[in-house]
Amino acid sequence: MFSNKIMTSALAGLLVTTAPGLALAAGVPTEEGVLIATKVAERCKDTLDTAALAAAVEKGTAIALAAEEYDSGFGDTESEMHMTLYNRHGESATRDLRQRALEMEGLDVGDKSMVIFDRPRDVAGTAMLTFSKVLEADDQWMYMPAIKRVKRISSKNKSGPFMGSEFAFEDFSGQEFGKYAYRFLREEACPGAEDLMCAVVERYPLYENSGYVKQIGWSDDMHRNYRTEFYNRRCDLLKILTASDFRQYLDHYWRAHKLRMENQLTGKATDLTWDTFKFGVGLSESDFNQNSLKRAR
């Protein structure tokens, strides 16, 4: 009795976005975006150009929407990733996982994804199945291989650490266009690729239980996100995410093969690297149900 192990995860696929149909139906109108941006700026004591605010919100929203549309249509994807956790003293621990995701067509239907843990070995075989939603809580199930039990779990825990790393669950699943309101800040050289120009866009989570009041992202015109700053509820700069080693797939989709998340307050960091990234592997809905979760390998 009472021996199942809770290890919640909302990993729905880094940089996975929903189908275009949903993007046009969701997202907030400009007036609401202006209100949200104003509230956050007051709270965090940021300066705001109120005259140009509506235009900034529209421009930021358009950039995010273009990125969402650019990244959709990939159908399905499969990848293997390694996570290395560093503490303040540089000591490390590794986590290996595999992930597969299915882009779902239709309004209000988010992607389906599955994560399988390979390392550390005492959690190997544990798997999570997630049906993402945009603003509602995701549907999530966990498979515990030692007792072969599938348990439906709460997906409320957005801001908690994923596998003890510096990535929160919402950092993995929070990439759908409809989850944020946006404001364009400025243009400047891309961090880590200074010969390219990046749009700097601030975004505000609209979903509940986020640990962030705002995020600031640098992305170029190919929609590659080089850097993201995460601000916690007290408006402190909490974490900085740096992406590198971008590779293009199917002549279209860009994926960063290395992500580094650095916690500015604790000095800890987590590296996330991808071994392989496959598109169009031929997955379907029958690969994302409780039966396939129990078979997950």
Partner 1 sequence: MVMKWLRTLLVGPALLAGWVVSTAAAEMETQLEGNIELETRIFTNAMNNDGRDDPNLSGSIDPIFTMLFNRGQHTVTLNPYFRWDLNDDKRTHFDIRQASWIGAFGNWEFRFGIDKVFWGVTESAHLVDIINQDDGVEDIDGEDKLGQPLVSASYWSNYGTVTLVLMPYFRERTFAGVDGRPTSPLRVDTSRPIFSKGNNNWNPDWAIRYQHAFGMFDVAASYFKGFSRTPGLVPDLDTQGAPVLRPSYSIINQVGVEIQATIGAWLFKFEGITNDGRHKDRHYAFASGVEYTFYQAFGTAADIGVIAEYLHDSRGPNGPSASEDDLFIGLRWEGNDTSTTRILAGAIFDMDSSSKVLFVEASRRIGERWRITLDGRFFVGVPPNDPLFFFRRDDFLQLRLARFF
Binding-site ranges for partner 1 (CB under 8 A): 1-8, 85, 87, 93-94, 119-125, 137, 139, 141, 145, 147-154, 156-157, 159-161, 164, 281, 284-286, 289-292, 295, 297
C-beta closer to partner 1: residue 59 or 294: 294
C-beta closer to partner 1: residue 45 or 121: 121
C-beta closer to partner 1: residue 252 or 295: 295
CB of 238 to partner 1, least distance (A): 13
Stated as kind and residue range, the H or E segment containing 59 is helix 53-70
**Percent composition of the chain: helix, strand, coil (DSSP 3-state, to 5):** 20, 40, 40
Point out which residues pair with 248 in neighbouring strands: 254
| Token duo for residue 160 | 């908690």
C-beta closer to partner 1: residue 1 or 51: 1
CB of 241 to partner 1, least distance (A): 19
Residue bearing tokens 């601000």: 231
CB of 152 to partner 1, least distance (A): 5
Residue 111, number of CB atoms within 10 A of its CB:
27
Residues 6+ apart with CB under 8 A from 178: 18, 22, 23, 25, 26, 27, 134, 135, 206
CB of 76 to partner 1, least distance (A): 12
C-beta closer to partner 1: residue 53 or 283: 283
CB of 30 to partner 1, least distance (A): 31
**Size (the chain), residues:** 297
CB of 125 to partner 1, least distance (A): 6
CB of 58 to partner 1, least distance (A): 34
Alpha carbons 92 and 277: distance in angstroms, whole number: 24
**294 burial level (CB within 10 Å; 0-12, 13-18, 19+):** middle
In three-state secondary structure terms, 154 is coil
CB of 44 to partner 1, least distance (A): 21
C-beta closer to partner 1: residue 232 or 273: 232
C-beta closer to partner 1: residue 107 or 197: 107
Q: How far is CA 6 from CA 80, 128, 150, in A?
A: 23, 11, 11
C-beta closer to partner 1: residue 141 or 253: 141
Residues 6+ apart with CB under 8 A from 39: none
Stated as kind and residue range, the H or E segment containing 169 is helix 169-173
Q: Are 287 and 100 in contact (CB under 8 A)?
A: yes
